[in-house]
Amino acid sequence: MRLPDRLAIGDLLGTATIVALGLFALFLLVAPSVIVLIISFDTRAFVSFPPQGFTFDWYLRVFEQRVLVEAMLNSLQVGITVTLLCIILGVPTALVCVRGQFRGTTALSIFVLIPHMVPGIVLGVAVLFAAAAIGVSPSIGLQSISITVFVLAVMVRTLMSRLQRMDPALEEAAANLGASPFQTLRTVTFPLLMPAILAGAVFTFIEGFDNISVAIFTHGFRDRPLPVELLALVQTTNTPLVAAVSGVQIVLAIVALILVASSIGLDGVND
């Protein structure tokens, strides 16, 4: 039998290292969620690992507690509002940043990024003070707007990268075939942007649903969003109920991703 030469051994080691690192990264990404999910089915009334027994009770309890259900509905409302606002504001912004023919488009695209670079807590405090100064009190609306400001960059960046990779000849072809600028936008640019819009929508929705750093300062006094409620819960109880609430959020995120991935393909999400 011939021994593989040095190069082949080197290759083998290199490949093994990369695979091992990859598996480790995957473990780091998945393990916390898996552990939370496992704990949420525990029969004991305190958080501990490994669990003993299996029950759906905690999930039923989540939906029995009015506070938690209302918090979920609040978060859902914020998530949807943030997503819609990001689409309405993000599409024109991205179009201007990429296709704009005037000076300052680069400045604008950086400007949109700034709120996302500022720590969420700082942004939250800033919004709270600013709102107080003009006599606006925290509410679902204020929370939605401030999270929109926070995550608009994600939507704009996603759309911009799609626009930049779009063959400019497509829009020229539309014009050459008789389409007015608006018709070109409606029949060519928008349909081709759709996968990126959906991908951006997933991320902005999830951010709107479970952001806490901005939300904790801007949410309405009576309208607590789920993450804030969860934080309060963790501070007062040590039952797997907390894990079950997290479980609901994990499942929601997975469902959202699967929905979008199946309608536009994974490539679209990767945009």
Partner 1 sequence: MTLARDLSLASAADAAQVLRIDKVSKRFGTFTVLDDCSIDVSEGEIVTLLGSSGCGKTTLLRCIAGFLTPEKGAILIDGRNTIPVPVNRRPVGVVFQSYALFPHLTVEGNVAYGLKMHGVPRREIARRVADALASVSLRGFETRYPSQLSGGQQQRVAIARVLVLEPRVLLLDEPFNALDAKLRGTMQVELRELIKRLGMTAIFVTHDQEEALTLSDRIAVMRGGRIEQVAPPDEIFDRPATAYVADFIGLSNFIPAEVRDGKVTLPDGQTLATEAQGPVRVMIRPHNLRAIPQGPGPWQGQVRFQRNVGPLIEYTITAGQSDMHVVALRRDRIRPWGEGDAVSLEVIDPEFCKVYPEA
3-state secondary structure of 224: coil
In angstroms, give the least distance from the CB of 156 to partner 1: 22
Q: Which is nearer to partner 1, 174 or 215 (CB)?
A: 174
Q: Which is nearer to partner 1, 135 or 191 (CB)?
A: 191
Q: Which is nearer to partner 1, 117 or 169 (CB)?
A: 169
Q: Which is nearer to partner 1, 44 or 186 (CB)?
A: 186
In angstroms, give the least distance from the CB of 159 to partner 1: 16
In angstroms, give the least distance from the CB of 160 to partner 1: 19
Pick out residues in 116-135 that bind partner 1 (CB under 8 A). Answer: none
Q: Where are the alpha helices (DSSP H) in the chain?
A: 6-39, 57-64, 66-99, 105-117, 120-133, 140-165, 168-176, 181-184, 190-210, 215-218, 226-236, 241-264, 266-270
Pick out residues in 189-248 that bind partner 1 (CB under 8 A). Answer: 191-192
Pick out residues in 138-197 that bind partner 1 (CB under 8 A). Answer: 167, 169-170, 172-180, 183, 187-188, 191-192
For residue 221, count CB atoms less than 10 angstroms from its CB and return exposed for 0-12, middle for 13-18, buried for 19 or more. Answer: exposed
What is the rounded CA–CA span in Å between residue 106 and residue 257? 31
In angstroms, give the least distance from the CB of 167 to partner 1: 6
Pick out residues in 65-124 that bind partner 1 (CB under 8 A). Answer: none
Q: Which is nearer to partner 1, 107 or 175 (CB)?
A: 175
Q: Which is nearer to partner 1, 174 or 199 (CB)?
A: 174
Tokens 């695979």 correspond to what residue? Answer: 19
In angstroms, give the least distance from the CB of 188 to partner 1: 6
3-state secondary structure of 141: helix
Q: Which is nearer to partner 1, 189 or 246 (CB)?
A: 189
Pick out residues in 33-52 that bind partner 1 (CB under 8 A). Answer: none
Number of residues that bind partner 1 (CB under 8 A): 17
What is the rounded CA–CA span in Å between residue 72 and residue 36? 19
What is the rounded CA–CA span in Å between residue 33 and residue 54? 17
Q: Do 269 and 202 contact (CB within 8 A), yes or no?
A: yes
In angstroms, give the least distance from the CB of 177 to partner 1: 4
- Helices 190-210, 241-264: axis angle to 10 degrees equals 180
Q: Do 81 and 147 contact (CB within 8 A), yes or no?
A: no
Q: Which residues bind partner 1 (CB under 8 A)?
A: 167, 169-170, 172-180, 183, 187-188, 191-192
